A = this chain, B = another copy of it.
Amino acid sequence: MRPSGRDNDQLREVRITRNYTKHAEGSVLVEFGDTKVLCTASVERGVPRFLRGSGSGWVTAEYGMLPRSTGSRMGREAARGKQGGRTVEIQRLIGRSLRAVMDLDKLGENTITIDCDVIQADGGTRTASITGACVALKDAIDFLKKDKNGAMKGNPFKGMLGAVSVGIYKGQPVLDLDYAEDSKAETDMNVIMTEAGGFVEVQGTAEGETFTQDELNAMLALASKGIKEIVEIQKAALQS
């Protein structure tokens, strides 16, 4: 029995609100239950130095948590003067995953920066971030399509990307862990898949107990089911 009363293969309510703020080329509030992340996509002409003159574009991501998005206040990273290891890990994961659905040559020499800022945390902030970021990225690309100076060379977007966490909680494989589960799970795994069903990232970590091949397969099956549902919600949001 899960703390939230959900079935083992049941997502939290996933909500995606586009145009949440007014300045960004893509601005999405994504909610997985009480986890709320603001994902903005910012388009800038030009690319980082290592790509200049290549004709190719770039997609990168940054991640942050508001200090009181969590149960007890976390020190502000800007005040401490550095981003923590967890932050760095997550933003590298987001950026790498999004690039997996992009044809950077077609993007032209544009950079899209995705900012994922956690307003409220209740587990699964990295998978919610990727889910929302992909929608914001799509909006930014649609903005660039309409922009004559953007100089894209065709459609760089290869399809949606969904992400969800799965885990072993009290010996059972479960889908989309909230904080109450995540903090006690034996295994925690983040899975990122394309809408076509290919794996982009699989990151599973044993916390205390190791996990078996069977448990891994059960978790991947749950993830696959959940991501299909998430992609439907992304597509519905993009059509509204």
- Which residues on A are within 8 Å of B, measured CB to CB? 21-24, 27, 34, 36, 38, 40, 42, 44, 62, 64, 66-73, 76-79, 81-83, 85-89, 91-92, 96, 100, 113, 115, 117, 119-121, 189, 193-194, 196, 198-206, 208-213, 216, 220
| Chain B residues, CB < 8 A from A113 | 67, 73
Identify which of B22, B38, B206 contacts A200 (C-beta below 8 A): B206
Residues in B neighbouring A88, C-beta threshold 8 A: 85, 88-89
* Chain B residue, CB-CB nearest to A100: B206
Partner of A202 from the list B69, B117, B204 (CB cut-off 8 Å) is: B204
Tell me, rounded to whole Å, the shortest Cβ–Cβ distance linking A23 to chain B. 5
| Residues of A contacting B: mostly | mixed
Closest to A86 in B: B92
Closest to A70 in B: B23
- Find A100's partner among B73, B199, B210 (CB 8 Å cutoff): B210
- A120 to chain B: which residues have CB within 8 Å? 21-23
